[in-house]
Amino acid sequence: MAVALPVCVKDFEDFAQRNLPKYVYNYFAGGSSDEQTLQDNVKAYRRIWLKPRLMRDVSNRDLSTTILGQRIAFPIAISPTGVHCMAHPDGEIATARAAAALETGMAVSTYSTNKMEEVARSAPEGLRWLQINVFKDRELLKNFVKRAENLGFKALFLTMDKPVEGAGRYNVHGKFVLPAQYSLGNFQGLINVRSYAQTDKLRDKSATWDSVDWLRSITRLPIVAKGILTAEDAREAVKHGVSGILVSNHGGRGLDGVPATIDVLSEVVEAVKGSGVEVYVDGGIRMGTDVVKALALGAQAVFVGRAVIWGLAYDGENGVKKVLEILRDEFSIAMALSGCRSLDEISADLVEKRSAYSSKL
């Protein structure tokens, strides 16, 4: 019997669950502890109604926007996720090529299986950023930053919400180890890193906001604060000179029990209003209508992670392209049905939040 072609992100995930080795699927799909936050990231979007405006000319729609001054064709970019080669042998190279082909950006993880140099060579015209952590070894961190600058990366996404590993069931007691055929490419020739226990030891658990100041002092690249969930931390990030904020809870893989990202997005946007700092959001985005909701609540763009992994598992570069195309096209349709011709017309009056505890009649 012929296998039906995927038509939505859920179809790609179902394929990945059936076809990836169980430990690989569990690694990518899993969250921390009871996975409350992982699940709520998705459910929170279902608690938001769209309130469309009708009888508007939507025959021509402009989906494009910018991230830190760099144009992307539609407001959906790729979140930093590690070890893409576990989903497909072409790994981050395939992801970068797909992003470039669709004219959007990709944040490359510090823990990518392909070196940042290989990613840059694979899609030289592509827009890319590097995700980093604060390492105890500042010379190692400098090495990563300078390589990113020399390779034409356009920003650094500094992960702030994970000084230690979350209590993931996929990584019980930090015992998750990369299979022998894979390695963390960015560390090659520097140190041997193969397990979560080792990456955990690299991070500076004493890092403070002063670490952001230090990072700004060694680079000309703009810094995006990744992991902000509160107005207080958003204002602190502005004080320390960041250029962007990615509202994120690490896809539910850090501290379990924190809010869904879409539920705190407005709070962060309001906190940085007038500062010039851009705000993005990731976590739980599975459909084009989710993108409309996020933009209506103030996001400049959204970032997707697991959806890209499921596309990789399906068909490498072509699978990632297909996922991005589906999300883009769903978003375009949702814009039209909401009465919007450009991103500027996606405003807060298009959405209404329902209570998480509203009765079901």
Q: Residue 291 in contact with residue 76, Cβ under 8 Å? A: yes
Q: Residue 145 in contact with residue 177, Cβ under 8 Å? A: no
Q: Count the Cβ atoms, other than its own, within 10 Å of residue 275.
A: 16
Residues labelled catalytic: 250
C-alpha count within 13 angstroms, C-beta hemisphere, residue 170:
22
How far apart CA 146 and CA 150 sit, in angstroms, is 6
Strand partners, 129: 107
Q: Count the Cβ atoms, other than its own, within 10 Å of residue 233.
A: 18
Instruction: Give, in degrees to the nearest 5, the angle at Cα 282 between 129 and 175.
Output: 80
